[in-house]
């Protein structure tokens, strides 16, 4: 699937950039809802599983550059510096005399860093359909009593969406704007802790309303 998408994007770049094509750059305000669900599994003892989910509403900036042909077909590259996936905490307490070495506060904290997306906007009547492929570094910032950590992992995401492009902005002769709604599903994050006693898995989905402004040249 990933190779197929890369081939499609390559073909679009070839045919979307004739002599008459325009280059556009712009910025985006991404009003995003990030839904992350995950589990932590003990790899020793009774293999206890702890599950949790969190929803984070954020506004993140994006920048993009794209080429647009005379038919309105756009191929672009967008960069998102960071998306905070939220924070979840819990306190473990074992009765005195039991195995209370793990007693204390635990904080799960993660973010998507340096998200790069390749996308195409395909005209469909007065609107366009968006297809995108993203790659991001999922960075963990957990805090645990035992001091264990989890490695960062690169994850891929696939985006679908629907948008509208307007070619007129007051005071900007070559300006344009875009409004779009998108959904992105990222790969599962799965890592064992640094001491090999726990395994964490997490899935992230992002629903966004994006408002963009840009200019062509």
Show the tokens assigned to 137.
């570094």
pLDDT value, residue 4: 46
pTM listed for this prediction: 0.78
Show the tokens assigned to 48.
């206890």
Show the tokens assigned to 69.
């042909």
Tens of pLDDT, residues 140-169: 776 555 567 788 889 999 999 999 999 876
What span, in angstroms and rounded, lies between the C-alpha atoms of 121 and 50? 41
Can you tell me which residue has the tokens 């899935």?
Answer: 203
pLDDT value, residue 128: 97
Tens of pLDDT, residues 177-191: 999 999 999 999 888
Q: Would you call 192 exposed, middle or buried from its count of C-beta atoms within 10 A (0-12, 13-18, 19+)?
A: middle
pLDDT value, residue 165: 94
Q: Which of 90-104, 122-136, 159-173 has the highest mean pLDDT?
A: 122-136
What span, in angstroms and rounded, lies between the C-alpha atoms of 121 and 110? 30
Show the tokens assigned to 163.
């948008």
Where is average pLDDT lowest: 16-25, 87-96, 193-202?
A: 87-96
What span, in angstroms and rounded, lies between the C-alpha atoms of 183 and 204? 11
3-state SS of the chain is CHHHHHHHHHHHHHHCCCCCCEEEEEEEEEEEEEEEEEEEEECCCCCCEEEEEEEEEEEEEEEEEEEECCCCCEEEEEEEEEEEEEEEEEEECCCECECCCCCEEEEEEEEEEEEEEEEEEEEECCEEEEEEEEEEEEEECCECCCCCCCCCEEEEEEEEEEEEEECCECCECCEEEEEEEEEEEECCEEEECCCCCEEEEEEEEEEEEEEEEEEEC
Which of the two residues, 216 and 159, has the higher pLDDT score? 159
Instruction: Decide: helix, strand or coil at residue 14.
Output: helix
Q: In this structure, is the dihedral angle defined by the CA atoms of residues 55, 107, 186 and 203, taken in order, positive or negative? A: negative
Domains in the chain: ranges and CATH: 2-216 (2.40.160.20)
Tens of pLDDT, residues 5-58: 554 555 555 554 454 678 999 999 999 998 888 888 888 777 788 787 888 888
Tens of pLDDT, residues 165-177: 998 766 656 689 9
């Amino acid at each position: 699937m990933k190779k197929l998408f890369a081939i499609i994007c390559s073909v679009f770049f070839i045919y979307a950039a004739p002599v008459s094509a325009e280059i556009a750059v712009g910025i985006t305000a991404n009003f995003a809802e990030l839904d992350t669900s995950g589990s932590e599994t003990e790899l020793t003892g009774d293999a206890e599983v702890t599950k949790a989910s969190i929803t984070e509403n954020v506004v993140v900036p994006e920048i993009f550059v794209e080429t647009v042909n005379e038919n309105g077909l756009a191929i672009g590259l967008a960069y998102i510096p960071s998306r905070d996936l939220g924070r979840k905490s819990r306190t473990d307490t074992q009765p005195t005399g039991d195995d209370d070495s793990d007693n204390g506060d635990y904080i799960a904290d993660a973010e998507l860093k340096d998200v790069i997306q390749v996308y195409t906007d395909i005209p469909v009547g007065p609107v366009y359909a968006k297809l995108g492929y993203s790659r991001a570094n999922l960075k963990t910032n957990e805090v645990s009593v035992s001091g264990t950590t989890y490695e960062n992992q690169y994850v891929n995401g696939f985006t679908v969406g629907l948008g509208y492009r307007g070619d007129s902005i007051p005071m900007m002769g070559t300006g344009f704007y875009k409004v779009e709604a998108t959904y992105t599903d990222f790969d599962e994050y799965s890592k064992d802790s640094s001491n090999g006693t726990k395994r964490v898995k997490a899935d992230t989905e992002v629903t966004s309303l994006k408002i963009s402004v840009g200019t062509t040249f």
